[in-house]
C-alpha cells in the first residue's frame, strides 16, 4: 500500500480572522507542483468555520476527549466536526509541556477521535536531554505504546504520526537527515514489531516536524521513511508553505 504524502501547517495561536483568510487565499493561489501531496492546515479553532470552504483539509489543534459537559473553555470533537474540522492534532509537544497532557490523557483523546471516525495526526518526540542520553527512540516508542498501540490495525489506519524532536520545534535547529531517517525507521520498526505486520508498518505516514523550511524540506522528504512535514513557523507564509509542499 502506498502511503500518503502530507504537508500540514500548524498555525498555533497566530493570526486574526482577516490574516487567516488572506493566508488561505494566498496558499490557494500558488501552484502546487505535486498534486499527490495532501495539504492541510490547523488554524485557531474559532476560524475553522470560515476557512473550511478551501480545497485544503482543515483540522483542529486541540479538543477535549469528553462528549460534552463541565469543561470550561474546551471544545469537543462533535463541536469541531460541526464547524468543519476533518482531522485533529493530538500530542503536540506544546500541549504535553505547557498543558501537562500525559500519555494516558492522550490515549483518551485518541480513543475519542477514533470513536468519532476523526483522522488523527499524533505527535511524538523527545527533549534534548533524552536524545543526548541516547534514549530518543526508546522515549518515542514509549509515547506510542502508551497512547496509540492499543488501537487495532484497522483503527491505526486513521492515524498519521508526526515525529517532532522538541529541541527542533521553533528553534531553527533541524534534525539532520540521518537523525530524522533513523527515528522514522525506528518508529516504523516499532509499529511492525507491535502489530507483527510489515504491511501495517508500511501503510502509516510518518511526518517530520521541527524547523522544517523551504531550504531543508527537499533533503528531509527524500528520506525513504519521511512522508511529509508538520510545519509551524514556515506555514504562516504562503510562499514558504507551498515551497515546502513542492519540495517533494
Ligand atoms: C510545530 O509546532 O509543529 C513545528 C514543527 O514548529 P516549527 O516548524 O516552527 O519548528
pLDDT at 1: 61
CB atoms within 10 A of CB 247: 23
> Which residue in the list 92, 101, 126, 194 is annotated as catalytic?
92
pLDDT tens-digit map of 170-182: 888 889 999 999 9
pLDDT tens-digit map of 94-112: 999 999 999 999 999 999 9
Ligand 1 pocket mutation, candidates 163, 233, 241, 243, criterion most atoms within 8 A of CB: 233
For the CA of 92, the closest atom of ligand 1 is 3
pLDDT at 7: 97
Cα-based angle 211, 36, 117 (whole degrees, multiple of 5)? 80
Percent of the chain residues past pLDDT 70, beyond the cut = 100
Please indicate whether residue 244, judged by its CB atom, sits closer than 6 Å to ligand 1. Answer: no
DSSP state string for 180-236: HHHHHHHHHHHHHHHHT-HHHHHHS-EEEESS--TTTHHHHHTSTT--EEEESGGGG
Please indicate whether residue 124, judged by its CB atom, sits closer than 6 Å to ligand 1. Answer: no
Compute φ and ψ for 129, nearest 5 degrees: -60, -35
Burial class (CB in 10 A: 0-12, 13-18, 19+), 232: buried
**141 Cα–ligand 1 center, Å:** 21
Closest CA to 20 of 39, 49, 30: 49
Please indicate whether residue 233, judged by its CB atom, sits closer than 6 Å to ligand 1. Answer: yes
pLDDT tens-digit map of 188-244: 999 999 999 999 999 999 999 999 999 999 999 999 999 999 999 999 999 999 999
**18 Cα–ligand 1 center, Å:** 23
Cα-based angle 104, 105, 107 (whole degrees, multiple of 5)? 65
How far, CA to CA in Å, does 183 sit from each of 46, 58, 124, 177, 187?
Answer: 34, 28, 11, 10, 6
| Number of alpha carbons in the 13 Å side-chain half-sphere of residue 189 | 9
pLDDT tens-digit map of 108-145: 999 999 999 999 999 999 999 999 999 999 999 999 99
CA trace torsion 181, 184, 190, 195 (10° rounding): -120
- Given a cut of 70, is residue 247 above it in pLDDT? yes
**78 Cα–ligand 1 center, Å:** 27
Interatomic CA distance for residues 175 and 114, integer angstroms: 31
Contact 230, 220 (CB under 8 A): no
Please indicate whether residue 212, judged by its CB atom, sits closer than 6 Å to ligand 1. Answer: yes
Rg (CA), the chain: 17
**152 Cα–ligand 1 center, Å:** 29
164 noted as active-site residue:
yes
**196 Cα–ligand 1 center, Å:** 32
Domains plus CATH for the chain?
Answer: 5-245 (3.20.20.70)
Give the length of the chain.
248
Please indicate whether residue 232, judged by its CB atom, sits closer than 6 Å to ligand 1. Answer: yes
Interatomic CA distance for residues 80 and 63, integer angstroms: 8
Amino acid at each position: 500500500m502506498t502511503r500518503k504524502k502530507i504537508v500540514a501547517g500548524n498555525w498555533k495561536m497566530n493570526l486574526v480572522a482577516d490574516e487567516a483568510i488572506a493566508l488561505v487565499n494566498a496558499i490557494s493561489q500558488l501552484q502546487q507542483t505535486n498534486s499527490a501531496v495532501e495539504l492541510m492546515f490547523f488554524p485557531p479553532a474559532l476560524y475553522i468555520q470560515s476557512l473550511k470552504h478551501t480545497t485544503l483539509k482543515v483540522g483542529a489543534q486541540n479538543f477535549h476527549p469528553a462528549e460534552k459537559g463541565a469543561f470550561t473553555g474546551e471544545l469537543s470533537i462533535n463541536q469541531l466536526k460541526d464547524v468543519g474540522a476533518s482531522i485533529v492534532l493530538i500530542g503536540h509537544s506544546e500541549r504535553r509541556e505547557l498543558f501537562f497532557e500525559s500519555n494516558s490523557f492522550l490515549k483518551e483523546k485518541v480513543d475519542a477521535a477514533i470513536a468519532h471516525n476523526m483522522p488523527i495526526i499524533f505527535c511524538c518526540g523527545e527533549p534534548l536531554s533524552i536524545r543526548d542520553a541516547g534514549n530518543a527512540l526508546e522515549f518515542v516508542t514509549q509515547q506510542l505504546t502508551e497512547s496509540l498501540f492499543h488501537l487495532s490495525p484497522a483503527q491505526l489506519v486513521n492515524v498519521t504520526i508526526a515525529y517532532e524532536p522538541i529541541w527542533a520545534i521553533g528553534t531553527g535547529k533541524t534534525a539532520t537527515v540521518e537523525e530524522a531517517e533513523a527515528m522514522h525507521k525506528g518508529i516504523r520498526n516499532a509499529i511492525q514489531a507491535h502489530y507483527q505486520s510489515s504491511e501495517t508498518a508500511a501503510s502509516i505516514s510518518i511526518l517530520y516536524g521541527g524547523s522544517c523550511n523551504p531550504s531543508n524540506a527537499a533533503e528531509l522528504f527524500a528520506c525513504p521513511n519521511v512522508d511529509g512535514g508538520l510545519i509551524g513557523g514556515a506555514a504562516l507564509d504562503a510562499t514558504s508553505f507551498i515551497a515546502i509542499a513542492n519540495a517533494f
